[in-house]
Amino acid sequence: MMITVNLRPGLKRKRAGSPFAGVLAGAKAFGAKVKDPALLVAVVAWVGVGGWLGYTWLANTTELRALEPHLEQARAEHKRFKAFLDQKHKQEQIRDSLLSQITTIQSVDGDRYVWPHVLDEITRALPAYTWLVDMSPVAAPPPPPPPPGQAKAAKKPVVDTTARPGLLFQVNGRTVDIQAYTRFLRNLEASPWISEVTPVSAQTIVEHERAVTAFTIKARFKQADSAYIRTAPLSQSVR
């Protein structure tokens, strides 16, 4: 406990002034000194602008600190998705490369076994007392020209590269029985690998002092349904 002793009893003790009293007194003294109102307004405006700038800087700093965790999270998500997209792009490049190689192999190797299939089917369809003289491919006929009135207005036809027509071939043979010739035609038409069987000619000729029927047949090789395709290994180990 603090004891205060008044050494001058004739004088009253002054009360402690307010802390804002000096500020108010200074403001009043400044107002009394400043006689120009425009200068006072300018000073107040500059003080207000400074206060507003300080408040804005403080608010932006606080907001920036609050957004920093979100920024770090967004950067982590960006790195993760970037790695995922890079991996996806690499897999797509591998897929496109494999598809290109498969397409090239199919274009080169697609017709390798056409003639073995044709020979196999013709051998199965060939009846007794009938034999072949030769067999050769036939060039496809050119498309018919447009009518004269539409020749100028006709546009260039769009070629469908996905559709691959089958091999068109011609068979020349001999038989001693005309019924065997008709049976040969029916057997070719029944084959799932041969279509468009067309008899071209059939006439009797003398060959080796015997009367035989010489015939010519045109047909087209087609890809059979998967139900008719059978696979077999090229080699088999023997124990």
What are the tens digits of pLDDT across the range 39-78? 767 777 888 888 888 888 888 888 888 888 888 888 888 8
d(C-alpha 133, C-alpha 201), whole Å: 14
pLDDT for position 184: 93
pLDDT higher than threshold 60 for residue 153? no
For residues 63 and 70, what is the distance between their CA atoms, to the nearest angstrom? 11
Nearest C-alpha neighbor of 164 from the set 140, 131, 196: 140
pLDDT at 93: 92
CA–CA gap between residue 150 and residue 131 (Å, rounded)? 49
Average pLDDT over all residues of the chain: 78
pLDDT in tens, 193-216: 899 999 999 999 998 888 999 999
Confidence label for 7 from pLDDT (cuts 50, 70 and 90): low
- Distance between CA atoms of residues 175 and 191, nearest Å: 20
pLDDT (average), residues 32-42:
67
Higher-confidence residue: 226 or 176? 176
Quote the pLDDT of residue 23.
Answer: 55
- Among 61, 21, 194, smallest CA distance to 122 is for 194
- Whether the per-residue pLDDT at 2 is higher than 80: the answer is no
Report d(CA 63, CA 149) in Å as an integer: 78
150 pLDDT tier (thresholds 50, 70, 90): low
Percent of the chain at pLDDT exceeding 70: 66
Q: Which residue has the tokens 């957004």?
A: 67
pLDDT of 152: 52
- The whole-number pLDDT of residue 180 equals 92
Residue 41 is encoded by which pair of tokens?
């307004």
Q: What is the pLDDT of residues 122-133, one digit of tens each?
A: 999 999 989 999
Distance from C-alpha of 168 to C-alpha of 165, rounded to nearest angstrom: 9
Q: Which two tokens stand for residue 106?
A: 């199919």
First to last CA, the chain: 117
Digit-coded pLDDT (tens) for 154-168:
455 444 444 456 789
- Can you say how many angstroms the Cα of residue 140 is from the centroid of all Cα atoms in its chain? 35
